[in-house]
């Protein structure tokens, strides 16, 4: 089945130690997104790729970066995780169509714990 896969499901890292979260998709969608979601809050968009075109949200900290080496894979790099970066990180994909945003397909998320 076509899907969005995130690995690992749970990630534990130490304060200040770089960490990378992975996302892959078999939907062949040209847009990929990374969201941060803290407990009982709405998902917050960090950035998205439209094909290879990177789009950063204005309030995304510099500590967060992303790579998309090909259509199928996208990575979220946190250079120096702080305690406040502990959250669920959600990857999503969509097709870019004219006339408005279409459905986004989400992975199961990676829960990051910072010790």
Partner 1 sequence: SQQGEEDPQALSIQEGENATMNCSYKTSINNLQWYRQNSGRGLVHLILIRSNEREKHSGRLRVTLDTSKKSSSLLITASRAADTASYFCATDSSGSARQLTFGSGTQLTVLP
In the complex, the residues that contact partner 1 under the rule CB under 8 A are 4, 6, 31, 40-43, 45, 48, 50, 55, 88, 90, 92, 94, 96-109, 111
Other beta carbons less than 10 A from residue 27's beta carbon: 16
Q: Cβ 29 to partner 1, closest distance in Å?
A: 11
Nearer to partner 1 by C-beta: 6 or 66?
6
Closest to 94 measured CA to CA, from 16, 8, 4? 4
Q: Cβ 13 to partner 1, closest distance in Å?
A: 19
Q: Cβ 106 to partner 1, closest distance in Å?
A: 4
């Amino acid at each position: 089945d076509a899907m969005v896969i995130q690995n690992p499901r749970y990630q534990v890292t130490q304060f200040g130690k770089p960490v990378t979260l992975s996302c892959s998709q078999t939907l062949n969608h040209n847009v990929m997104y990374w969201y941060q979601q803290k407990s009982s809050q709405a998902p917050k968009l960090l950035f998205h790729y439209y094909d290879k075109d990177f789009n950063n949200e204005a309030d995304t900290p510099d500590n967060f970066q992303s790579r998309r080496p090909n259509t199928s894979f996208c990575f979220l790099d946190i250079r120096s995780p702080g305690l406040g970066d502990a959250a669920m990180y959600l990857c999503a994909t969509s097709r870019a169509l004219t006339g408005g945003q279409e459905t986004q397909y989400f992975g199961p998320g990676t829960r990051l714990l910072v010790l």
